[in-house]
Structure 1
Amino acid sequence: MNGPDRTATPLSYPEEGATARSPLPPGYHHLHEEVLIGHGRKVFEAAGEAVTTFRMHRASGVGISASAPRAEPGVAVEVSLGIGPVRLAAPCRVVSATYGPQRTGFAYGTVQGHPECGEEAFMVELRADGSVRFTVTAFSRPAVWYTRLAGPVVPFLQRWYARHCGRTLRRLAG
């Protein structure tokens, strides 16, 4: 991973692991997007691999660097948009990872230096009917002046990006 090692950097919010619980914490913008990826165990396994190795993120057009090749608790992750001096870096740390026969994915939380404050989970699920669903669950609020200034545009962009990840994952797993 390029840049500082953020594996020991504290999270910038107190509700660690809250994307796995319901309801999501108050005081944040909430996001829950679900996309049908396909059907069957083969699609589930391919989608789970793409999510947990950060391949889906890379294929979605964002820069991503991680302190390990696979999502596991404690792994430092930096998501970035743009290039050179116009690059926006968003440092995170994986707070949970799930590797099961019906559910695979991970959640990461923001650390100091991220323009938002909160957590985001990326889960792939093989349902009883054989359908494979990708779900993004998140809670966030602005952490810096420019995301506060952007106001309602940020949740719109987060929803768009979640759907874009779903379409990308459908292509990768198909």
Structure 2
Amino acid sequence: MTQRKLTYLDPGRTERPYPVPLEGGWPPRYRLVLREERIPVKDPALGFLRLVDGVLGWDLHRGSGLWVDPGTPRARPGLEMSSGVGIGPLRWHAPCRVLWSTEPMLDDGGRPVPGQRAGFGYGTLRGHPEAGEEGFYGELSEDGQLYFRVAAFSRPANLLIKVGGPLNRRTQQMFTNRYFRTARRLAAGKA
């Protein structure tokens, strides 16, 4: 079975293992979103595992108000999935393909090794309102701090989305804010 074509060129730019910076190297003429937040939790290593499990298992998306089919497998390269907003037949689907995913690295005692990122990145397929790529990262810094990061580049995939420019940007910002709110809940074990 052949995979559907992505709606943009040069995929995989969100794959940035620790400590590769998220700044720089993005394609021109795309809207760029780079955001990070330190998540203060009592046990950052445990919070990292909770966060990454929620990211890879789609709880980040579900907790942010996006519909993801309950049968969607854990994020892994090549997986095609769709998130959506709306209800039933009035749901707008946003199909994507997971381009890369990284599971947490654990030491011999089952604790995450400091100095790593885990998460995934996906690219848009035909039918998505945007064309581009988004990466979601849980990060456990070398000094044991927990961070959540999002890196995305996109542009409108059709004229309707292009005409709705300011509304489209506000909608993207709203979902990015929700991702961070949900990431804090996941890391704290409250989601």
TM-score w.r.t. the length of structure 1 is 0.89
CA distance in 2, matches of 1:67, 1:83: 18
- The residue type paired with residue 13 of structure 1 is Y
Alignment match, 2:37 = 35
Alignment match, 1:69 = 73
Q: Secondary structure at the match of 1:163?
A: helix
Alignment match, 2:108 = none
TM superposition shift of 1:98 = 1.5
- Alpha-carbon RMSD across the aligned residues, in angstroms, is 1.9
Deviations 1:81-105 (A, max 9, x none): 0013421110000011112432110
CA distance in 2, matches of 1:23, 1:154: 24
Tell me which protein shows more strand as a share of its residues.
Answer: 1
Alignment match, 2:176 = 162
Is the CA contact (8 Å cut-off) linking 1:33 and 1:163 kept in structure 2? no
Is the CA contact (8 Å cut-off) linking 2:120 and 2:136 kept in structure 1? yes
Deviations 1:126-146 (A, max 9, x none): 012322111110000001122
CA distance in 2, matches of 1:118, 1:71: 18
Alignment match, 1:148 = 162
CA distance in 1, matches of 2:76, 2:89: 30
CA distance in 1, matches of 2:132, 2:70: 19
CA distance in 2, matches of 1:16, 1:42: 32
TM superposition shift of 1:169 = 1.5
Give the number of the structure whose alpha-carbon radius of gyration is greater: 2
Unpaired stretches in structure 2, ≥5 consecutive residues? 17-23, 106-115
Alignment match, 1:44 = 48
TM-score w.r.t. the length of structure 2 is 0.82
Aligned equivalent of 1:55, options 44, 56, 59: 59
TM superposition shift of 1:14 = 0.9
Q: Secondary structure at the match of 2:14?
A: helix
Alignment match, 1:111 = 125
Q: State the identity as a percent.
A: 41
Alignment match, 2:95 = 91
